[in-house]
Copies of this chain bind each other. A is one copy, B any other.
Amino acid sequence: MNSPVASQNAFSDAERRGVYRAVFERRDIRNQFLPTPVPDDVLGRILLAAHHAPSVGFMQPWDFILIRDVALRTNVRNNFLEANRQAAQRYQGEQRTLYDSLKLEGILEAPLNLCVTCDRTRNLGSGLGRQTVLETDLYSTVCAIQNLWLAARAESLGVGWVSILDHDQLRSILEIPSHVTPVAYLCIGYVSEFPAAPELERKGWCRREALARLIHFDRWGRQDDAFAAQLDSPAEVGLSLNSVQQSLDG
């Protein structure tokens, strides 16, 4: 650790490895949910992690609707089925066959569903930081979701984000008022496994882009292939991540 920060702020190798494991081993889970209930203390911890996300002007615009009721979840699943039926029509031929073979939600299999919302009118931060980009409250809410997703992985919990939903219908099912935007509908539960790669990559829907192609220097489009490749080199991931890489490869 060559950081100049005071040593009490530095992470141990194992703590740092934990952060990278959560990042690299997090998956969008649809197929692998187990019915095992999520204990309250674990649920409390991942919600607390969400609540400690950054937010514009310390606005904390998020709310958390915990959904266990099976009738409600069945309504949400019916919403998904209709939205997905329409979405599938975009694809034809082999791509349609592949699309139809994908499992894109685990609404009923997961023991817990969670809708994370954004109150566009919450005045906690008095609008600080939000006057130039109005969407920053939505962005803050997504930061909370990603905190929860990573904390969940550290607790061996899987999370799946169901984006194929009619949000007007979802709002109606969950009685969400008009000034509140549903941002994510999540399925949460223990899993039989965390797959080594994203399902859409394993099934051949698309591949992971090379990071080096996404790096620009000082201005958009100014690329430096050699330097970008150096930043993207697996060798650069460092000793402490070798075990992560091995566990992904194994």
Which A residues contact B (CB, under 8 angstroms)? 1-6, 8-12, 14-26, 28, 34, 36, 39-41, 43-45, 47-49, 51-54, 56-58, 60, 62-69, 72, 83, 86-87, 90-91, 95, 99, 102, 104, 117, 124-133, 135-136, 138-139, 142-143, 145-147, 149-151, 153-157, 161, 163-167, 174-177, 180, 183-184, 190-194, 198, 200-201, 205-206, 208-209, 211, 214-221, 230-233, 236-238, 241, 247
Most chain B beta-carbon neighbours within 10 Å: one of A104, A192, A198, A218:
A218
Give complex CA distance A143, B57 in Å.
19
Q: Quick check: B200 and A128 within 8 Å, CB to CB?
A: yes
Q: Which of B14, B126, B236 contacts A205 (CB 8 A)?
A: B126
User: Which residues of chain B are near A26, meaning CB under 8 Å?
Assistant: 52, 54
Are A20 and B154 CB-contacts (below 8 A) given A5-B193, A129-B163, A230-B44? yes
Give complex CA distance A176, B154 in Å.
37
User: Which residues of chain B are near A99, meaning CB under 8 Å?
Assistant: 128
Give complex CA distance A201, B52 in Å.
13
20 residue pairs bridging A and B, Cβ less than 8 Å apart: A5-B190, A9-B193, A9-B194, A12-B18, A19-B22, A19-B154, A26-B52, A41-B238, A45-B238, A47-B231, A47-B232, A57-B200, A58-B205, A60-B209, A66-B218, A124-B206, A126-B205, A129-B163, A133-B167, A135-B138
Q: Which of B3, B147, B156, B180 contacts A11 (CB 8 A)?
A: B156
Are A139 and B183 CB-contacts (below 8 A) given A130-B163, A161-B54? yes
User: Which residues of chain B are near A127, meaning CB under 8 Å?
Assistant: 90
User: Which residues of chain B are near A24, meaning CB under 8 Å?
Assistant: 49, 52
Q: Quick check: B47 and A174 within 8 Å, CB to CB?
A: no
Q: Quick check: B65 and A220 within 8 Å, CB to CB?
A: yes
In the complex, what's the smallest C-beta–C-beta distance from A150 to chain B, in angstroms? 6
In the complex, what's the smallest C-beta–C-beta distance from A110 to chain B, in angstroms? 14
User: Which residues of chain B are near A155, meaning CB under 8 Å?
Assistant: 3, 11, 16
Q: Quick check: A18 and B14 within 8 Å, CB to CB?
A: yes
Q: Quick check: A164 and B132 within 8 Å, CB to CB?
A: yes
